[in-house]
Amino acid sequence: MNILEIKRMDFCYKQRFVLKNFELSVKEGSVYGLIGKPKSGKTTVLKLILGLLKTTSSTIFLKGQNFYGCRDKIQGVVGNIIDLPYYQNFLTVRENFKYIDMLFGYGDLRITQVLRFIGLYKYTNTKVRKLTAAQQKCLSIGIALYHDPDFLVFDDLLRDLDEDSRISVCKLLVKIKDLGKTILLSSRHYIELSSVCTHIGLLESGRISKEGRLVDFIESDFGDLIPRLQHYQL
């Protein structure tokens, strides 16, 4: 079953089509990597899914439901990291969770569960500005995961991380997948996603030009795609 369905979606910006007849399906329990060059429309797609941008018609379905114009309902079923980090540098790790818990009221037990899961329990009382880049990324993931959504959307999550940090964050993403969650994440670089994604889609000229299981890409069943993906790693 697909957790996300986008059907023939158009989006214009400054009288230019960013997306044209765009279609995308994401299966439940998968990790879908959306790959594209800068300004290819990756972030636009994710913002449209989250209701941060509006389409001209209802073409996006989450868990089989049309949430067009219902931003509050989307927030209830999706966790996300878009644009800015979701934490406050001047607060401790726990204080950041206490802050968002004012919205949910889950209490200290849920905070402790999430801190243990993301590997930051021993940093409970550490100011966020003192964490490493990888730890800050894990904190953002934990905040997105806090209300236990089935679907998580991450924009350029692995950007600006060194190799060790990237590996650390990818291990957390695999743990989230193993919980039965579905993840959609964007990247400019195919190599960043190769250790975590089950499916890959290449965004070109406003639509998905090629997509499939990661194993299909690795086995080069898509002809000229691998050389093109190598270019995306620059």
Cα separation, 191 vs 206, in Å, equals 22
- Residue 195 makes CB contacts below 8 A (sequence gap 6+) with 167, 170
Residue 189 confidence (pLDDT): 77
Farthest-apart Cα atoms in the chain, separation? 52
User: Using alpha carbons only, how large is the chain's radius of gyration in Å?
Assistant: 18
Beta carbons of 32 and 199 less than 8 angstroms apart = yes
Residue 230 confidence (pLDDT): 47
Cα separation, 104 vs 199, in Å, equals 32
If phi > 0 it is left, if psi is from -120 to 50 it is alpha, else beta; for residue 195 that is alpha
Beta carbons of 213 and 198 less than 8 angstroms apart = yes
What residue ranges define each of the domains in the chain, with the CATH number in brackets? Answer: 2-232 (3.40.50.300)
- Residue 28 makes CB contacts below 8 A (sequence gap 6+) with 1, 2, 3, 150, 182
Spell out the per-residue pLDDT of the chain, length 234, in tens: 899 999 989 888 887 888 988 999 999 999 999 998 888 899 999 999 998 888 766 689 998 888 777 777 887 889 999 976 778 889 999 999 999 999 899 999 999 999 999 999 999 999 999 999 999 999 999 999 999 999 999 999 988 889 899 999 999 999 999 999 999 999 887 777 778 899 999 999 888 988 888 777 665 544 444 444 444 443
